[in-house]
Structure 1
């Protein structure tokens, strides 16, 4: 028997049925013997107490299972990701290490905002996708409408491999357009698939969609086009499957299947589609890496004969096993007892154990090979995004993008007894979730916790209470503002101190102001001529400005961007050192930035609200009250969809306020859109 691997993720909007679908995938592959349900809080993937209570997935769970098809065994690593935007970093780090995804859509809600966000994240990483239109038994289910939405909103060609037999309460099964058979599910939990002839009343529609399938493949695949045009040749199902695989992996087209995971219909064909159309790790192009010393590009073949390389995409602190580093192996292999290098720290360490994750259970294995997703124990100082490699040839893989926190609260333990352990717990949760930021307010001495949204912070504080038994007092949520300079000036700063022995001397003249290119961070231009400041001091000047940007001149919020051009300066033969130039840059920034007309920037959220017609007036009025701007009002399946841009400061408590305004008949989702200038009257309140 041949073993193949598929590393897949399941992505979707909140409540599209991802966790239910995963539960069915595990049941039919024999990984579990009893189906759990989200409503009953007994699913395999959601083991966290809060995940059970809230009915949502917070941290991406990993699990390995196997699917047998035509005497081949396929090893499928599944990562079930959160659908809520506040957990975007969980989605991002999962997508970074996957080769294929199943995008799950609700048949009545269609393409929702978070689906779009995650879809385009997957596209950015070049990941092949399959669509599964779930909840075909739900009121308002419309397979063909969701197909149109996928094409329009996600800018991709959907390829229906099945069409449903009925919908809502009348959903019975699916028509497989490749085998041209009707499929029905029986047995206690849909284990038995019954193949029948296509019902008479659906034959015309099935023929029409079969022809669409063939024409689309012919349009996007040259070799299939030739076969299709030479219609004397009957095209075999094997050729059709191979062609679908090619176009799916080229990412021009997405295969679409449908069913109802909750009603146990349509899941086994999805497992077949995963192994038929999504790529195995060795079918992908070579891994792009860099030499950490020289920065030159290196290509690594994705096989076990290549040198070892892997990326830590998640760190988990386990009660029994301590720190676990979740690792995607891209090339080569690793055995327990091997010594490998963390390229970021330059440290070598011995791998004590290699584990395969079975959700909350683990299985010890002797080795991990290219394409595997494993957990390692015994790795100190491991962080999300770290590259591990062999000692003989260290390689640096592309890291993971961590979004900037936009909201913060002041926190403290309720009792003094918890003071000591509180700091350790905060360090642990920050290790597990790099999108959280813990810092101390220099002025008030308060501990500040920053995250990606209200729910993100709420879940984190609940985690501290439930998992570590620490009750926490929290302040009101505050916005993480930024500052910007709006005027350019030239400034000279001089440091000259004598304190016995060698003194301190540094002198710089620089231009400081806003960037012209709308990029973030520091743009530093060195225009020093004639060596008036030695080259070895220049990086210290840049470092001084970069660090100083963390405190803006208005209220100490970080500066979003800045341009500094170093024009002139002077040194002292005995008294000048690199650190003096770092200090003079910081002092110069503090003196000059106040004269650059600094302004405050606030995060603007893109908000989507779904409701019914009768609440249009109150929702519109409420958005205006929150300084929001409505960008569009659409209609979908009889519901109004409002898209608006609203300042984050006005969104605190929005979810519960909206429920009250609409008697619970509206849903809302938010994501960070951009930062914008704060109106003068608000600045006067914030800057005190």
Structure 2
């Protein structure tokens, strides 16, 4: 039965139709009995009031459903993820626990910037993919152009399992290249599929694309290649399906299907493909982790008999049930009442209840097994990225990467009466979204909220107002700059304190400056010879420098990177302690960094703007005004696509400004590209 579980995600650019497609998947699997639409604000996956109002997915919703194929019932766990870059952490933490994804493309827009982002995030986690080219009924829909973009822009090997019959208003149905049949959806809800012979005017295309399908499989799969060589006539449907399954698991190919989710066409074949071609959890390689005690790498088999291990990929605070830890179980099994260990804290917890999430509903289940995605109650101190394991054998799994925030805003409650609950609410939203950072400005005493973009902060503040009833005053958005050292200097720091009894002593000579390779973080090189500084104190020196990097000497912004070479030093036989060397490193940094010509770095956004020809001049002039550099201008389906690099500081309010400039005829998407030096004429105004 375990072969019948599929853990899948739905990924795409904003507005490619992810939520609409998910809604149809749920309808045809019988999970919901009425089709919801994003435009009507009644979709099952978008539970949040803002998701309904804005028509976008903010938090990745999880839902379990079933699909019957060839007398087998498949349990499909679906996670619908946001397409907006501001919610990148939602995508990241979902992909970390999924086995495969359906990538949704708009048939007229093709591969867009955020599609590339999430695609390569999925690549990082080694996830199998199926592509669904959606909106075949839309103006400018071109299945074959998108197929080509998947190849050129995403460097994938697309495997068309279907080709469309017509496009735009003439989109009738699809041709199944494996069955060699034409499929039509005849009723309004798309529940009845009629299989017919391929129409005469599509026979040549169908033959050509079926041949391409067979040839691609022969190139990518040895077993299939041998059959193909011996006798092409002997190739059966089953042989093709098995070859697709093998190549999909190895991520050698990406099967491609098409349809129109909104018009209820093409969804059931996609469900069949999910069941047929995506791997079950126990068909994947064993999971690697670290033994928490010995730090040795260990491998766990993905079955129910193995030692229990799981990863918390999200924390949800529910009004009725309190704190829910969303958990992917990788090995073993758990029952309610079992005691498990949070490996990060070393604490043991008793599981109160195990829940299966069905979007806004939950179902209590007796046990969770390897491969399941469940929610647990009773895990009090759980955070995103925590490993849970059996108490007998603590296993640490690879955590989840949380991107650093790039924008911040000062906030305070409008009334003093909300002051107490304001702090509690901020703690709660930080637990749910680890990419938000709340801190107090040491100079002004203000509360600062940092996030991944304007929309991210806007949505968070709206959530505080709508869900918790707290009205908020906010300042103007500010950029989270970074600092960098531009020169290398040698420096000696000596800490000597005598205050009766044992004193404090640490002496270090070091070289400090920028990293040569521009990689982020600290590069620490220990060149101490002859034990002049005892070995046990060296990690404290490194720790001191690492902590000091959090606050640069220019304006207190974190350093992007730094290289420190520890050259020499000395220690006192009785007065020296590890903490003394930590202090010496921190003090040495403060003193030395000032002479290393520190400079400010600012986040540069990669911006893509789609507009019509007549606004080319206006859009170009506006990019220049914002200190932007245009990197490319493409034309497709009568629309111009501008790609530019623009400093984040110049993008505040860009979306509404652009709408005004182009009378609402342009769309924009942004993602963090890199950090670059702030020009001197601007840096001078920021530093004074």
TM range (shorter): over 0.9
**CA–CA separation in structure 2 for the residues paired with 1:136 and 1:501:** 81
**CA–CA separation in structure 2 for the residues paired with 1:85 and 1:571:** 50
Per-residue Cα deviation, 1:201-233 (whole angstroms, up to 9, x for no partner): 111111111111111111211221221222364
**CA–CA separation in structure 1 for the residues paired with 2:373 and 2:532:** 54
**CA–CA separation in structure 2 for the residues paired with 1:452 and 1:346:** 31
Shift of 1:504: 2.3
Aligned position for 1:125? 125
Would the alpha carbon gap of residues 541 and 558 (structure 1) be closer, same or farther in structure 2, given more than 3 Å must change? Answer: same
**1:347 and 2:347 matched:** yes
Aligned position for 1:620? 620
Aligned position for 1:190? 190
Aligned position for 1:498? 498
Aligned position for 2:472? 472
Aligned position for 1:207? 207
Shift of 1:148: 1.1
**CA–CA separation in structure 2 for the residues paired with 1:536 and 1:225:** 59
Gaps of 5+ in 1: none
Asked if the contact 1:2–1:73 (Cα under 8 Å) also holds between the matched residues in 2, the reply is no
Asked if the contact 2:2–2:280 (Cα under 8 Å) also holds between the matched residues in 1, the reply is no
**1:156 and 2:156 matched:** yes
Shift of 1:2: 7.7
**CA–CA separation in structure 2 for the residues paired with 1:233 and 1:651:** 59
**1:112 and 2:136 matched:** no
Aligned position for 2:226? 226
Aligned position for 1:611? 611
Aligned position for 2:532? 532
Asked if the contact 1:184–1:195 (Cα under 8 Å) also holds between the matched residues in 2, the reply is yes
Aligned position for 1:147? 147
**CA–CA separation in structure 2 for the residues paired with 1:152 and 1:537:** 52
Aligned position for 1:585? 585
How is 1:516-595 mapped onto 2 (pairs within 5 angstroms)? 516-595=516-595
Per-residue Cα deviation, 1:481-523 (whole angstroms, up to 9, x for no partner): 0001111111111222222333322222211111123221112
**CA–CA separation in structure 2 for the residues paired with 1:4 and 1:115:** 28
User: Mean Cα displacement is larger for which, 292-301 or 60-69?
Assistant: 292-301
Q: What's the RMSD between the two structures over aligned residues?
A: 1.2
User: Mean Cα displacement is larger for which, 459-468 or 244-253?
Assistant: 244-253
Aligned position for 1:512? 512
Shift of 1:584: 1.6
Per-residue Cα deviation, 1:219-260 (whole angstroms, up to 9, x for no partner): 211221221222364211111111111111111111111111
**1:72 and 2:72 matched:** yes
**CA–CA separation in structure 1 for the residues paired with 2:11 and 2:2:** 29
Aligned position for 1:166? 166
Asked if the contact 1:3–1:75 (Cα under 8 Å) also holds between the matched residues in 2, the reply is no
Asked if the contact 2:188–2:264 (Cα under 8 Å) also holds between the matched residues in 1, the reply is no
**CA–CA separation in structure 2 for the residues paired with 1:572 and 1:218:** 71
**1:240 and 2:235 matched:** no
**1:359 and 2:352 matched:** no
Aligned position for 2:19? 19
Would the alpha carbon gap of residues 493 and 3 (structure 1) be closer, same or farther in structure 2, given more than 3 Å must change? Answer: closer
Aligned position for 2:301? 301
3-state DSSP class of the match of 1:239?
Answer: helix
**CA–CA separation in structure 1 for the residues paired with 2:98 and 2:307:** 20
Asked if the contact 1:3–1:73 (Cα under 8 Å) also holds between the matched residues in 2, the reply is no
**CA–CA separation in structure 2 for the residues paired with 1:77 and 1:575:** 60
**CA–CA separation in structure 2 for the residues paired with 1:411 and 1:232:** 69
Asked if the contact 1:45–1:359 (Cα under 8 Å) also holds between the matched residues in 2, the reply is yes
Q: How many residues align?
A: 688
Asked if the contact 1:289–1:299 (Cα under 8 Å) also holds between the matched residues in 2, the reply is yes
Runs of 4+ aligned structure 1 residues displaced above 4 Å come to none
3-state DSSP class of the match of 1:151?
Answer: helix
Aligned position for 1:677? 677
Q: If the length of structure 2 is used for normalisation, what is the TM-score?
A: 0.99
**CA–CA separation in structure 1 for the residues paired with 2:230 and 2:371:** 40
Shift of 1:287: 0.6
Aligned position for 1:445? 445
Shift of 1:405: 0.4
Q: If the length of structure 1 is used for normalisation, what is the TM-score?
A: 0.99
3-state DSSP class of the match of 2:507?
Answer: strand
3-state DSSP class of the match of 1:260?
Answer: coil
Aligned position for 1:258? 258
Aligned position for 1:387? 387
Per-residue Cα deviation, 1:70-102 (whole angstroms, up to 9, x for no partner): 111000000000000000000000000011100
3-state DSSP class of the match of 1:57?
Answer: coil
Aligned position for 1:487? 487
Aligned position for 1:640? 640
Gaps of 5+ in 2: none
**CA–CA separation in structure 1 for the residues paired with 2:169 and 2:252:** 34
Asked if the contact 2:245–2:276 (Cα under 8 Å) also holds between the matched residues in 1, the reply is yes
User: Mean Cα displacement is larger for which, 206-215 or 39-48?
Assistant: 206-215
**CA–CA separation in structure 2 for the residues paired with 1:314 and 1:490:** 45
**1:407 and 2:441 matched:** no
Asked if the contact 2:3–2:281 (Cα under 8 Å) also holds between the matched residues in 1, the reply is no
Aligned position for 1:57? 57
Shift of 1:281: 0.4
**CA–CA separation in structure 2 for the residues paired with 1:8 and 1:585:** 47
**CA–CA separation in structure 2 for the residues paired with 1:481 and 1:431:** 24
**CA–CA separation in structure 2 for the residues paired with 1:457 and 1:439:** 14
Per-residue Cα deviation, 1:306-362 (whole angstroms, up to 9, x for no partner): 111100000000000000000000011111111111111111111111000000110
3-state DSSP class of the match of 2:649?
Answer: helix
Per-residue Cα deviation, 1:30-72 (whole angstroms, up to 9, x for no partner): 1111111101100000010000000000000000000011111
**1:396 and 2:412 matched:** no
Per-residue Cα deviation, 1:539-593 (whole angstroms, up to 9, x for no partner): 2222111111111011111111111122222233333222222212111111111
Would the alpha carbon gap of residues 232 and 125 (structure 1) be closer, same or farther in structure 2, given more than 3 Å must change? Answer: closer
**CA–CA separation in structure 2 for the residues paired with 1:309 and 1:181:** 45
**CA–CA separation in structure 2 for the residues paired with 1:417 and 1:502:** 50
Asked if the contact 1:3–1:72 (Cα under 8 Å) also holds between the matched residues in 2, the reply is no
How is 1:174-185 mapped onto 2 (pairs within 5 angstroms)? 174-185=174-185
Asked if the contact 2:162–2:256 (Cα under 8 Å) also holds between the matched residues in 1, the reply is yes
3-state DSSP class of the match of 1:470?
Answer: coil
